[in-house]
Chain A
């Protein structure tokens, strides 16, 4: 029994970590939707949702229940299997990158304080002591892999299938045009995004997200936004286009394409697309924070709190979430401010301005790194 539990322990820990991280991200996403409606309301001189719960805080749950209870319509001429597959692909590709996010620094001894309290208990005492020993140097990342940046870029690029297949399988002109526009846009801006990341990777010398944060702590600038400002601007603009948000929300141009690729989707299938869009916003915000704003690192915090202690990890984690929330707010702010691009302007901007800018940033970084190293 004990041996079985000890073998199963890593799997239990991973499952619990994945469950906690997914739950946390989905809660943030749900409240991003509420924040978007509230902030847009204020920007337009309205109040926003305020009926469900005090100050409208239960609105996301009300929306979810409504999505679940609505009738699920499937168009008669649609390709059923692909129509069913598309929202699943979109949401799972949006959620998968969560496993490599660096949520915070390592904690040296997270459960050590618990051991003395239960030391006298018959079976629980040794069990807790064993678990505390396993938890030493616990990272706040589910999986620290060597190619974190490539993993996130790769999985999000597979997410294009969800949108393209949704547009195709609905068998409607609006959906097909919306799906084609949206996937063309995502493919085009992926290049600029990848180009803007390379500068950071060269400065850090690793593709591991945690390693990039550690490289930023070691560097004299502390945050890579200072030496990589050009890359940051390119990344931010490409991120708006990647997530199909204003001012690049061509696929959803209501006046010409109704709702784009998800015109024919209703009920929970539409909710999955909706969630995927907001989880993607969260993903690019995490990438932006990790690559350019030092991730969980707060300059000077190590002088106040002991690095590796639990309070240090907590403050760092809150700082990480705070930085992400700033970018989520930026999305909403831009949505309340800017008008929409035309499709040909969007393509010209991506291929003829943003991509050359990204490549120029790479060459500039190569030259600077070469002369600094020699």
Chain B
């Protein structure tokens, strides 16, 4: 009974935040709404007896990723999103994708309804940190390693892209660029780009 009440409170909050995220013209308000969605979702995980997933949801999505998103919005000081009439075809595209998503949802419901009833995992350890850790490092070790390597690649890519070149490296890059173009243009124009 009580868990039903909590489900409707948090689910309603999540949906309200999601709608507000899509409809706000100010990107910062959208970001704050998205944080609200994440917090409501993690509350739902808690009611589903998955405290580890809930804590990780808050720690990673609300606490780390969204802080970076808010940072970018603050630093770029984006203006309010102006509606652009040239992109009208996107409405049709969005509507089509929405219909596909809805169909997928119904398909999943249908499949779940048709599937044979499975025993619910009522073990004391279900959803606890230790059982998740054991599953991750025994049964699902390969996916965990693959995800780890993907994240490492992303980190290295970020470091490479954001590193500053020194004067000699800039000269080398500019010379190479001019050589490729085969034109005698002003070097300074290119130097500014780096």
Q: Is the interface of B mostly helix, strand, loop or mixed?
A: helix
- Give the docked Cα–Cα distance between A205 and B28 (Å): 40
Asked whether B62 is an interface residue with its Cβ less than 8 Å from the other chain, the reply is yes
- CB-defined contacts of A180 to chain B, threshold 8 Å: 71, 74-75
Given contacts A154-B58, A157-B67, A146 and B74 within 8 Å (CB-CB)? no
**A147 and chain B: residue at smallest CB distance:** B55
State the Cβ distance, A202 to closest chain B Cβ, in Å.
11
Chain B contacts with A in 52-110, Cβ cutoff 8 A:
52, 54-56, 58-59, 62-64, 66-68, 70-71, 74-75
State the Cβ distance, A284 to closest chain B Cβ, in Å.
16
10 inter-chain pairs at a CB distance below 8 angstroms, sorted by A residue, are A82-B32, A145-B51, A146-B129, A154-B55, A161-B67, A164-B70, A164-B74, A165-B70, A167-B74, A180-B74
Question: Chain B residues in contact with chain A, CB under 8 A?
Answer: 28-29, 32, 35, 39, 51-52, 54-56, 58-59, 62-64, 66-68, 70-71, 74-75, 128-130
User: What is the number of contacts between chain A and chain B, taking CB atoms within 8 Å?
Assistant: 75
Contact partner, B129, options A79, A157, A206, Cβ 8 Å: A206
How extensive is the interface on chain A, given as a class?
A: 20 to 34
Q: Report yes or no: B28 in contact with A82, Cβ–Cβ below 8 A.
A: yes
Asked whether A58 is an interface residue with its Cβ less than 8 Å from the other chain, the reply is no
Chain A contacts with B in 186-206, Cβ cutoff 8 A:
187, 190, 205-206
Q: Report yes or no: B51 in contact with A164, Cβ–Cβ below 8 A.
A: no
- CB-defined contacts of B54 to chain A, threshold 8 Å: 147
Asked whether A207 is an interface residue with its Cβ less than 8 Å from the other chain, the reply is yes
Q: Is the interface of A mostly helix, strand, loop or mixed?
A: helix
Q: Report yes or no: B51 in contact with A187, Cβ–Cβ below 8 A.
A: no
Given contacts A158-B63, A160-B63, A150 and B71 within 8 Å (CB-CB)? no
Question: Chain A residues in contact with chain B, CB under 8 A?
Answer: 79, 81-82, 85, 145-147, 150-151, 153-155, 157-158, 160-161, 164-165, 167-168, 176, 179-180, 183-184, 187, 190, 205-207
